[in-house]
Structure 1
Amino acid sequence: MNKGMTAKGRATRHRIIVAAAMLTREKGAAETTLDDVRAATATSKSQLFHYFPEGRADILAAVAEYEAGQVLEAQQPYLGDLSTWESWQGWRQAVLDHYTELGQKCPLGSLTAELGKSSPQARSIVTSLYDEWEAALVRGVKAVTSDEEEAVRRRARSILAAVQGGVVMLQGTGRTDYLDAALTAAISPLQPVTAGTA
């Protein structure tokens, strides 16, 4: 979409996407209208359709792509190298800190509960996010265990589900202790066993 666009055009489009993302976090995708986006960005209807020819569907797909990037970026640099128990602990803390800071307005909840249902294109973006996230976790689990492939994939998926479940409960309650407990339990089997003394 950005191909052939001027730097100013890319900046304007990005500004609209970020504002629309904030609106979907606050109001939900179903309640966010083009008029809301126009008001939040001080753009005209013709401007919106210039950058998003399909209107609301295009904007929501762009928001899904933006939010997916935010979800993965917040986990770096740890997600890129989960090859030690220390890096797993760093990743867990980074995830916990990120969602504690965001509270009930988090992109992950918006992506899964709202944007993924808004269009086939947005659903595809959300699916790609989870595939990329799972692949990184799979690499990390492989690095610290000698488990078979299927066990590794199950572990990675259980960790991913722990994050998602904890975030959903955070959105519903405003409390991060569920996310904290779920993450701790999900990664604890990856901790190396230290030899005891006789």
Structure 2
Amino acid sequence: MQLTQKGAATKRRIVEGAAREIHSQGVFTLRLEDVMARTSTSKSQLFHYFPGGKDELLLEVARYEAARVIDDQQPELGSLTSWTAWWDWRDKVVARYRAQGGDCPLHVALSQLRTTTEGARTVASELMSQWQSQLAAGIRHMRDIGEIRPGLDAERAAAALLAGVQGGVLIFLTTGGMEYLEAALDEGIARLGGEAAVSARRGPVERDR
């Protein structure tokens, strides 16, 4: 559907309103009437932009939350040009999940959809692809300046790091234990850079002890 600027703004308002409604009351009790009340839209407006109803709206919320996963890691994720920058990114990822607790908006939105549907798979795949691509760009940069061994497959290394992060996130959402995510990030970065990466994390004061 080709939207006017006003139409695109209305659609985004509905998506953002639905996301806030999910945050406040949960996805399983979400009612379209509540979304309409929150966003001051009529039923005809909502179904104009989301003819598939609640499932289509939830898919758009998932896309919105997936974009936020990447945006919330910036500018660190897009600037992985030193080991200090890598640790800054690590800290930002941990801080993001610690702040939101076990209520991961993307996980909540996708959980209400059948994860085998093409739309849900596409949202998850696009997120992982963008995340992996930016990690791989950082790995290639560090490899090119001699901080990572030559010949390392950047895409594969980024995939391994991302898999560890996602495993840590899943355990965190299941148990509330942040130490798994922290370990996945710490060990993943250390494997990439060895002692140089670890030393950058320690900082000059600790290294001098």
Q: TM-score range by the shorter chain?
A: 0.7 to 0.9
Deviations 1:100-133 (CA, angstroms, capped at 9, x unpaired): 1111112343366555727422321221111111
The residue aligned with 1:3 is 3
* Alpha-carbon distance between aligned partners in 1 of 2:22 and 2:2, rounded to the nearest angstrom: 22
Deviations 1:133-161 (CA, angstroms, capped at 9, x unpaired): 111111112222234354x3332112112
The residue aligned with 1:92 is 90
Q: Identity over the aligned pairs, expressed in percent?
A: 38
CA deviation after TM superposition for structure 1 residue 97, in Å:
0.8
Deviations 1:52-110 (CA, angstroms, capped at 9, x unpaired): 12222321221122111100001100111212111110100110111111111123433
Structure 1 residue identity aligned to 2:64: Y
CA contact (8 A) 2:73 2:93 kept: yes
Q: List, as ranges, runs of 4+ consecutive aligned residues in structure 1 with deviation greater than 4 Å.
A: 23-26, 111-116
The residue aligned with 2:32 is 34
The residue aligned with 2:188 is 186
Q: Which runs of 5+ in 2 are unaligned?
A: 143-147, 200-209
The residue aligned with 2:170 is 168
CA contact (8 A) 2:17 2:38 kept: yes
Q: Aligned-residue CA RMSD in angstroms? A: 2.7
Query: Cα gap change, 1:2/1:133 in structure 2, threshold over 3 Å: closer, same or farther?
Result: farther
* Alpha-carbon distance between aligned partners in 1 of 2:78 and 2:107, rounded to the nearest angstrom: 22
Structure 2 residue identity aligned to 1:168: L
* TM-score between both structures, scaled by the size of structure 2: 0.77
1:146 aligns with 2:149: yes
Query: Cα gap change, 1:162/1:116 in structure 2, threshold over 3 Å: closer, same or farther?
Result: farther
CA contact (8 A) 2:55 2:113 kept: no
Q: Which runs of 5+ in 1 are unaligned?
A: none
* TM-score between both structures, scaled by the size of structure 1: 0.81
CA deviation after TM superposition for structure 1 residue 32, in Å:
3.8
Aligned partner of residue 51 in structure 2, secondary structure: coil
How many residue pairs match? The answer is 191
* Alpha-carbon distance between aligned partners in 2 of 1:90 and 1:182, rounded to the nearest angstrom: 15
| Among candidates 12, 15, 22, match of residue 14 of structure 1 | 12
Query: Cα gap change, 1:79/1:117 in structure 2, threshold over 3 Å: closer, same or farther?
Result: same
CA contact (8 A) 1:34 1:56 kept: yes
CA contact (8 A) 1:70 1:107 kept: no
Aligned partner of residue 175 in structure 1, secondary structure: coil
The residue aligned with 1:45 is 43
